[in-house]
Amino acid sequence: LQRMLSIAVEVDKSPNCSSCKIAEVIFPFILNIPLRSQREAFLNSMESQLLRCKLLELLFQHSCDVPTTLPLSLAKILYFLSHCSVLLQYQDETAAWQRWDEMLQYLSLLLLSYQNVILAFPLAEHLRSSLSDRMDLIIQKAKPKLQDGDDISHLDVQLKMEDFSSRMQQVLGQPFPLQIMEKLCMLR
């Protein structure tokens, strides 16, 4: 399945457009996956970084009280950090901190996938371009185009992380478990 999805994104003239369409079809199924381990297995096994970005973007948009119209960028990822709530409805008695832990895990995965789409090794730099255009861009050693929202400062990150930590502290009402602290450090 993952290979087929990756090929479906790659063969299109506009991988960005096809990944959006495929993500919209898959997204309702992600919402209905009952276990965190199953959701993580599905997302972690995705071969297409671009498709994973789009799916995670939809997941975070779904969890925001006020969705944003920003294009996917570092600024949008910071927006998700500030405005998202616990991502999925849980039918079991999962502890609240585990729900926040999953959300941080997916936010880190979104950031890593986005970096792979935009900034990573030469073949991945132009994942939003068609395969034929991508080869020309690589031969020309063209730098990938960054979004307007990719120009964020360390202060922006620090303020959003502090805001997130205080919001999570209010919800949890207890000291953060070590797993949460590690994920916050990794995300920062």
Task: Report the C-alpha gap between 57 and 74 in whole angstroms.
Answer: 12
Q: Cα–Cα–Cα angle for 17, 19, 21, nearest 5°?
A: 70
DSSP SS3 for 64: strand
Write down the pLDDT at residue 122. 43
- What residue segments make up the domains of the chain, in order of their start? 1-187
Confidence grade of residue 123 (pLDDT, cut at 50, 70, 90): very low
Give the phi and the psi of residue 111 in degrees, each rounded to 5. -60, -45
Task: Report the C-alpha gap between 90 and 15 in whole angstroms.
Answer: 33
Write down the pLDDT at residue 134. 56
User: Is the pTM for the entire model greater than 0.85?
Assistant: no
Tell me the percentage of the chain whose pLDDT exceeds 90.
Answer: 18
Average pLDDT of 72-82? Answer: 89
